[in-house]
Structure formats: C-alpha cells, structure tokens
Amino acid sequence: DFLNAVLSIETEASPHEVLAIAQSLEVQARRERKEHWGPRTLDVDLLLYGDETVSTPDLEVPHPRMWERAFVLAPLSEVAPELADVPAGGWTGVRRIPVALVLK
C-alpha cells in the first residue's frame, strides 16, 4: 500500500537546498530502497519550483516523469489546479486522472 501526497510550500531556499532537505527527511525516516527504481519506504521528490527549470546531473525540475504518473498528477491537481490549463503540447491531463488509477 502506498500513500501519495503533494505539498506546496513557499521558501527562499534554492532548488538544490530544497532537494537536500527532502533527502535529509528520507534519511531521518530511515528510508529503505532495495532496488533502483523499485519500491521504497519513502520517496520525497521536488516536482516544481515555481516557473523555474533546473537541469543538473542531480536535479531535474520540473520532475521529468511527473506528467506520466497518475499517483502524482491526482494530488498535484488538488494543490495546483491551474496546471490543468497549460497550453497544448505542454502539461496535459492533470485534472482528468481518474481516482481509481491512483488507488491501484
């Protein structure tokens, strides 16, 4: 069973500082990951950072696979419903994700 949530915050920290904080939360919670891309006990990701784009070896913002994942898009649409109105060719389908997909 998984619990997926999206949190919106205001911060003066840089995207890399937010990533470091997220990773420290995973360490404090004793995150376990037994295989790469496999299930883990906790996974904290930085999905968006305002309108900024970050592309470094250790951080991609917006998160490169978030738009493919119903378990991310459903809670994201509750926190930021305006993302459903992004122009064609951009972020689509945020509000169209059926809850049943998220609950699988």
Predicted local distance difference test score (pLDDT) of residue 60: 92
Active site residues: 31, 40, 43, 45
User: What confidence tier does 15 reach under pLDDT thresholds 50, 70, 90?
Assistant: very high
Predicted local distance difference test score (pLDDT) of residue 41: 66
pTM passes above 0.75: no
Do residues 47 and 66 make contact, with C-beta atoms less than 8 angstroms apart? yes
C-alpha atoms less than 13 angstroms from C-alpha of 101 in its C-beta half-sphere: 13
**In the chain, what are the domain boundaries?**
15-102
d(CA 88, CA 24): 37
d(CA 87, CA 102): 24
d(CA 15, CA 20): 9
CATH class label, 15-102: alpha beta
Residue 100 has pLDDT above 80, yes or no: no
Tell me what the pLDDT averaged over the chain comes to.
Answer: 75
50-94 tens-digit pLDDT: 888 999 999 998 888 887 788 788 888 888 877 755 444 554 444
- 80 phi and psi angles, rounded to 5 deg: -135, 70
